[in-house]
């Protein structure tokens, strides 16, 4: 078996992909791309090869990508500078002789500048286009919104305030759990049939749920009467600004909430279920696992 490289290998998604791969294949086939080797000591101890590279440093990527057959390309988190970084990755992959790039994009409908999440979506769309024109074998994984983001959207004091405060209206989201997405990505990387070559997969949960459904699940898990309040964007901005939340964070959360409100994330696909060979973890089960221990703690 040829070598598989995971970028962002010490982050939540990359590390989960490696965990899944290690259940199925030898660590000698897995290479982790990191910026800081010290942070990857745990991976090295498990037998994973560590290589140093930075999305901002083209030459470092070319060197790191040598001998890699499949590259799991985790999108960068520096939104303002993401596109030049992604161009570096794709170009370096071509120069280094990488055969296949598996890219983590995200679920979307509106590809215009009018989208509430246009700032985030733009670089994903351009990267997808770049890969399709690159001559590389590609697989684009359009991830649904992580269920893991719900506690972040809800805030750390949800069980105290008993109110989920988010301007998402009645919109529904087909949440997917990060570990399911990681397992699905690992299955693409381990596939030897070519069935995912030059394909775009939409990886979502099996059901789209509203934030009314979310608070019902949390209430059931905790026994607490959790309510959902969807304010106007103006009220949301005012309240969070007064609470000291940075404007950039408010803007991102408001953008995703508004996108949910207009149905940007409500499409349900069975691609993830097919990849996993089972139903994805339901949102209510994920929330039970998160909030019941929090209540006990």
Q: What SS3 class is residue 50?
A: strand
Instruction: Reply yes or no on whether the pLDDT at 296 is more than 70.
Output: no
In sequence order, the 6+-apart residues with CB closer than 8 A to the CB of 285 are none
289 DSSP β-pair partners: none
Q: What distance in Å separates the CA atoms of residue 227 and residue 218, rounded to the nearest whole number? A: 10
Instruction: Reply yes or no on whether the pLDDT at 94 is more than 90.
Output: yes
Instruction: Reply yes or no on whether the pLDDT at 177 is more than 90.
Output: yes
The gap from C-alpha 290 to its chain's centroid, in whole angstroms, comes to 18
Once rounded to an integer, what is the mean pLDDT over residues 182-188?
99
292 DSSP β-pair partners: none
The structure's pTM equals 0.95
Residue whose tokens read 């990527």: 61
Average pLDDT, rounded, for the chain: 95
In this predicted structure, what is the pLDDT of residue 195? Answer: 98
In this predicted structure, what is the pLDDT of residue 295? Answer: 66
Quickly state the pLDDT bin for 114 (edges 50, 70, 90): confident
Helix axes 58-65, 82-96, angle to 10 degrees: 40
3-146+176-205+267-276 under CATH 3.40.50.720, yes or no: yes
Q: β-pairing, 49-52 with 68-73?
A: unpaired
- Percent of the chain at pLDDT exceeding 70: 99
What would the two tokens of residue 25 be? 């294949």
**CA neighbor of 29 nearest in space, from 67, 2, 68, 65:** 2
In this predicted structure, what is the pLDDT of residue 235? Answer: 98
Q: What is the DSSP letter of 225?
A: -
**CA neighbor of 100 nearest in space, from 145, 135, 50:** 135
In sequence order, the 6+-apart residues with CB closer than 8 A to the CB of 206 are 174, 268, 270, 273, 279, 280, 282
- Give the pLDDT confidence of 248-295 residue by residue, as tens digits: 899 989 999 999 999 999 999 999 999 999 999 999 999 999 998 866
Q: Residue ranges of the domains in the chain? A: 3-146+176-205+267-276
209 DSSP β-pair partners: 173
Q: What distance in Å separates the CA atoms of residue 90 and residue 135, rounded to the nearest whole number? A: 10
């Amino acid at each position: 078996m040829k070598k598989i490289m995971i970028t962002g290998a010490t982050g939540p998604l990359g590390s989960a992909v490696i965990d899944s791969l290690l259940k199925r294949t030898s660590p000698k086939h897995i290479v982790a791309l990191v910026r800081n080797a010290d942070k990857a000591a745990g991976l090295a101890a498990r037998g994973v090869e560590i290589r140093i590279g930075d999305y901002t440093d083209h030459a470092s990527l070319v060197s790191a990508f040598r001998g890699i057959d499949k590259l799991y390309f985790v999108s960068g988190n520096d939104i303002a500078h993401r596109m030049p970084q992604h161009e570096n990755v794709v170009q370096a992959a071509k120069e280094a002789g990488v055969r296949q790039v598996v890219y983590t994009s995200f679920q979307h409908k509106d590809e215009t500048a009018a989208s509430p999440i246009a700032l985030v979506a733009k670089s994903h769309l351009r990267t997808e286009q770049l890969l399709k024109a690159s001559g590389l074998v590609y697989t684009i994984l359009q991830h649904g919104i992580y269920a893991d983001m719900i506690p972040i959207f809800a805030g750390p004091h949800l069980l105290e305030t008993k109110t989920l405060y988010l301007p998402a209206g009645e919109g529904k989201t087909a949440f997917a759990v990060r570990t399911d997405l990681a397992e699905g990505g690992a299955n693409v990387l381990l596939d030897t049939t070519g069935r995912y070559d030059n394909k775009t997969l939409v990886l979502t949960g099996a059901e789209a749920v509203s934030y009314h459904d979310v608070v019902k699940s949390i209430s059931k898990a905790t026994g607490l009467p959790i309510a959902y309040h969807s304010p106007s964007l103006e009220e949301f901005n005012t309240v969070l600004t007064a609470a000291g939340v940075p404007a950039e964070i408010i803007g991102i959360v408001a953008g995703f909430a508004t996108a949910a409100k207009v149905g940007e994330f409500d499409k349900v696909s069975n691609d993830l279920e097919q990849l996993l060979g089972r139903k994805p973890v339901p949102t209510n089960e994920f929330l039970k696992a998160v909030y019941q221990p929090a209540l006990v703690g």
